[in-house]
Amino acid sequence: MSLALKLRKAAFAAVRPSCWRAFSLRVVPASEHAPALRELECDRILDVGANRGQFSMIARILHPGVPIEAFEPQPGEAAVYRQIHGADPQVTLHELALGDQAGEADLHISRRRDSSSLLPIGELQAKLFPSTEEVGTHRVKVVRLDSFAPAWKSSRRMLLKLDVQGFELGVLRGSTEILKQCAYVYAECSEIALYTGQALFPEVKSFLVDHGFRHVRSLNDQHADGRLVQADHLFTRA
């Protein structure tokens, strides 16, 4: 993250009293996503890869009153999330990972926790993004997102946000029923392999197109060594 972006995010939080508690915990809303989220009409937000609650914060600012279901398998990050959002009755945190099969898996922990993944962290990730090398593993529970479909059957315009460090396709394959209830998918995808075995943007796009979505916008491009590395992508139901 560039220094300019860090300063913009800090300034965004500094003028909003609702952000001050999180700011004291060194967490600020992910305001870089505001252009994509501002105009969406959703009835439930699924924050997959919630980390410490940065995306949930901007979602709450832009869509007050819309229920948020957050997923974060790292205990330390989940604890901070609860400090920030625990008093909000419209926010539910699920301390587990999502995939295409239920069970358990090793989460590969990055030195910078928001770069952790169910996939092994590749050498290129550590080279392009310093301090993201793997420092250990943590056994986590994995479920399919579709297991929540009965509880959310009244929601027909959900927003599914994915920030799972290369495991987007694994989550989506376990979400085929949930996708029928989604109006939007907003996913960070890579153009080059940063994690071992990850799907790249064309594969994620193809899967979503096959399930009735169309790609409408790319934001927050990240470049390194003169090439596009990753970006956030907004899909809407076709």
- pLDDT tens across 35-55, in order? 999 989 999 999 999 999 999
Pairing, β 227-237 against β 182-190: antiparallel
Q: 61 pLDDT exceeds 80? A: yes
What is the average pLDDT score of the chain? 95
The answer to whether the CB of 219 falls within 8 A of the CB of 187 is no
Residue 53 pLDDT: 97
CA distance 135 to 138: 10
**Which tokens go with 181?**
């209830």
Residues 6+ apart with CB under 8 A from 33: 55, 58, 186, 219, 220, 232
Residue 6 pLDDT: 79
- pLDDT tens across 160-171, in order? 999 999 999 999
The answer to whether the CB of 107 falls within 8 A of the CB of 131 is no
Nearest to 236 by CA among 214, 218, 219, 217: 214
Q: 9 pLDDT exceeds 90? A: no
Angle at 186 between CA 182 and CA 192, to 5 degrees: 135
| Structural fold of domain 3-237 | Rossmann fold (3.40.50)
Q: 109 pLDDT exceeds 80? A: yes
Residue 5 pLDDT: 78
- pLDDT tens across 147-158, in order? 999 999 999 999
Say whether 220 sits in a helix, a strand or coil.
Answer: strand
CA distance 213 to 183: 8
**Confidence label for 8 from pLDDT (cuts 50, 70 and 90):** confident
Per DSSP (E only), the strands in 111-206 are 134-143, 158-162, 182-190
CA distance 39 to 42: 9
The answer to whether the CB of 66 falls within 8 A of the CB of 58 is no
- Across the range 183-192, mean pLDDT stands at 98
CA distance 68 to 84: 13
What would you measure as the largest C-alpha separation in the chain, in angstroms?
46
Residue 114 pLDDT: 95
CA distance 189 to 231: 6
Residue 1 pLDDT: 63
Q: 64 pLDDT exceeds 80? A: yes
Residue 188 pLDDT: 98
- pLDDT tens across 193-210, in order? 999 999 999 999 999 999
Whole-prediction pTM value? Answer: 0.95
- Across the range 98-108, mean pLDDT stands at 98
Top-confidence residue, 103 or 14: 103
Helical ranges in 15-134 per DSSP H: 20-24, 34-37, 54-62, 75-85, 123-128
Top-confidence residue, 107 or 1: 107
Residue 226 pLDDT: 87
- pLDDT tens across 213-222, in order? 999 999 999 9
Residue 37 pLDDT: 96
CA distance 88 to 111: 30
